[in-house]
Amino acid sequence: MHNEYVKKILKAKVYDVAIETPLDDASMLSERIGNRVLLKREDLQPVFSFKIRGAYNSMVNLPVALREKGVVCASAGNHAQGVALAAQKLGVKAWIVMPKTTPEIKVESVKARGGIAVLHGDSYDDAYQHAMKLVEEKGLTFLHPFDNPDVIAGQGTVAVELLSQQSGELDAVFIPVGGGGLIAGMAAYIKYLRPEVKVIAVEPVDSACLDAALKANSRVILKEVGIFADGVAVKQIGEETFKLAQQFVDEVVTVNTDEICAAIKDNFEDTRVLAEPAGALSIAGLKKYVQQHQLKGKTLAAVVSGANINFDRLRHVAERAEVGEQREAILAVKLPEEKGAYRRFIEVMGRRAITEFNYRFNPGHDAVVYVGVRLTEGNQERQQLLELLEGEGYSVIDMTDNELAKMHVRHMVGGREDVEDERVYRFEFPERPGALSNFLAKMKARWNISLFHYRNHGAAFGRVLLGIQVPKEEIAQLHASLDELGYRYTEEADNPAYKAFLAG
């Protein structure tokens, strides 16, 4: 299998549409973490993603008779644009089935390249099922986004370029993983030519299908996947890609949303280009691996896999980047409701910069304030700050890693009520016109909504915090109704951020 894939990679026909992307020094990040960091700039491809390589190679290798009948793919992102451009280059008719939640910028990009955009369903699975229907109805050939030897070979050309560009010292290459096409192709080539170089997969902690499969020694289907890094939000690693990953991947690193946001900022500071969340994934993994293994003086490469980010998402990225870089702590601090309390608190904080301070008067109770604090020495300084405040008699809750606090509570501080039988849930639902009203319409009228917060982040999924009054004997019925909605949800009534700022 090894030699077979190396031959396919070397024969891959990608440069009719793709370019050889540079391997750039990330000088600022290198200096900060004490290792030489190289960025393989696949964000500079004509479709701003490596996906054009595999899409074109798989299409050009189809028999002419099949190409003439047309092709179809299911994708919400970069594969769709790659297929559209490849089809345009080869004069092939291409149907691109995308969920209705697909950002308009990607739909228009597909149309601009001559693709026939078909919007169907709310998820990739819905789009995939419709694509299969078109295969049956029109006799089209389905182009898989990752689990196809020609796609894998096309993506493997990234490794050919990288090892040619960095023929000297190279300790590890960090590669993002969704379905596994990129890492399968790159790992097969790297381990053939330079087996001493470590190949390290990077996945979001809430979409880690390769990590789960390697631990189980078998492909598994994740019950749910995270929505932030949508380019790698895949529930199951590919069958062929998993075989290759088992042989050639050394380790897997998982990272959270905040760490990805920090990596987007790191990439911007060195390149002045905004990577999409999946595009910056490998940088986040590289940084985490360096920290975990206390590496110094190594040469490390990361594949910046794409730059198709919605402008609307930048607000969310900016909010979370400082936490991900360990440059900000988020705290809930109880202050006595008396004159001079805030001034004394600031004096205790010393010269530390306050990045956020949310408070509302609550007569008859101590004040609980939502505080953001700038850090210069990371988590060690955060721990020292907690110890300082507790030593001064303050009651403190560290909310730096609390998703509810960062996503919703920071925008809601000011109202506290003791609501009878209140249950609190955090939801994610498909973001499209009418989605919010549809969400509310599906809620049962028999229960009163006591709290509601929604904020658009420019992503494919909306996020809602919902409080609802339900007697204990009706909780099972509520959960049955929520399950019927089909939206991912998390109960948050015991979350310390809810208790500190929103509950009575």
Q: Annotated active-site positions, please?
A: 51, 305
At residue 180, the 3 state secondary structure works out as coil
Six token digits for residue 199: 């190949």
Closest CA to 227 of 400, 40, 478, 403: 403
**CA–CA separation, 31 vs 460, rounded Å?**
35
Burial class (CB in 10 A: 0-12, 13-18, 19+), 477: middle
Q: How far is CA 112 from CA 116, 248, 421, in A?
A: 10, 38, 53
**CA–CA separation, 383 vs 328, rounded Å?**
12
Helix spans in 139-256 (H): 149-165, 181-193, 209-216, 239-248
Q: Which residue has the tokens 């040619």?
A: 164
Six token digits for residue 128: 């995939």
**Is residue 362 a contact partner of residue 416, using CB atoms and an 8 Å limit?**
yes
At residue 226, the 3 state secondary structure works out as coil
- Full DSSP string of 286-347: HHHHHHHHT--S-EEEEEE-B----GGGHHHHHHHHHHHTT-EEEEEEEE-SSTTHHHHHHH
Q: Nearest 5°: phi and psi at 36?
A: -80, 120
**CA–CA separation, 488 vs 226, rounded Å?**
10
Six token digits for residue 385: 């700050």
